[in-house]
A and B are shown apart, each in its own frame.
Chain A
Amino acid sequence: GAVVSQHPSRVICKSGTSVKIECRSLDFQATTMFWYRQFPKQSLMLMATSNEGSKATYEQGVEKDKFLINHASLTLSTLTVTSAHPEDSSFYICSARDAGGPRETQYFGPGTRLLVL
């Protein structure tokens, strides 16, 4: 089956630093990738939709200058949390839509746990 990887799986950083999270589709091309955030015991919250070769579309309330998204290739999207603060600590999950498959099909990455000290 289709596989999506995320790197790193967990990261601890100091307040004020920037952290980059990678999301890769390993065996399919993903024209669209999605970034979600999940707080403990809560459901996933869509942050932004990343389209290859164009600007990401951010959900209301998500700061685009804070969460920089780059989707430079058909297999890679990156989320950079800039000037991270403790309240950015969360579980970040990406998913990818197979360009060759049904629009409804999304494959999820394993997630990245971010802790900002």
Chain B
Amino acid sequence: KNEVEQSPQNLTAQEGEFITINCSYSVGISALHWLQQHPGGGIVSLFMLSSGKKKHGRLIATINIQEKHSSLHITASHPRDSAVYICAVSVGNMLTFGGGTRLMVKP
């Protein structure tokens, strides 16, 4: 069974701070997803990674397959980044979700 652990569970930051959210998993995967869920519930897929690093705007996602670890970084954080960030890993087309990281960015 694949276990997906995220840390921290809750994170409060000041606007402008650099933020890192971590995700570790226990078995081999075909891809890792970072998802964003705003209050209201809708889910947006931020990244899908199978190796290396991806960047989109102020968001950067990295993955180390050997260490079974991924990080999501937010540079120059803004209050609108406040959301729950969820790591999910794919084995084939099945997803296993982490518990989520609740981020609040204060102005």
Contact = CB atoms under 8 A, between A and B. Distances in A.
A53 B27 CA distance: 32
A106 B45 contact: yes
A7 to B, nearest CB: 13
What 4 A-B pairs are tightest by C-beta distance, nearest first?
Answer: A104-B31, A110-B42, A104-B90, A108-B43
Interface residues of A, number: 23
Contacts of B90: 103-104
A104 B44 contact: no
Contact-residue size bin, chain B (C-beta under 8 Å from the other chain):
20 to 34
B48 A104 contact: yes
A107 interface: yes
B86 interface: yes
A23 interface: no
A32 B95 CA distance: 13
A107 B45 contact: yes
A111 B43 contact: yes
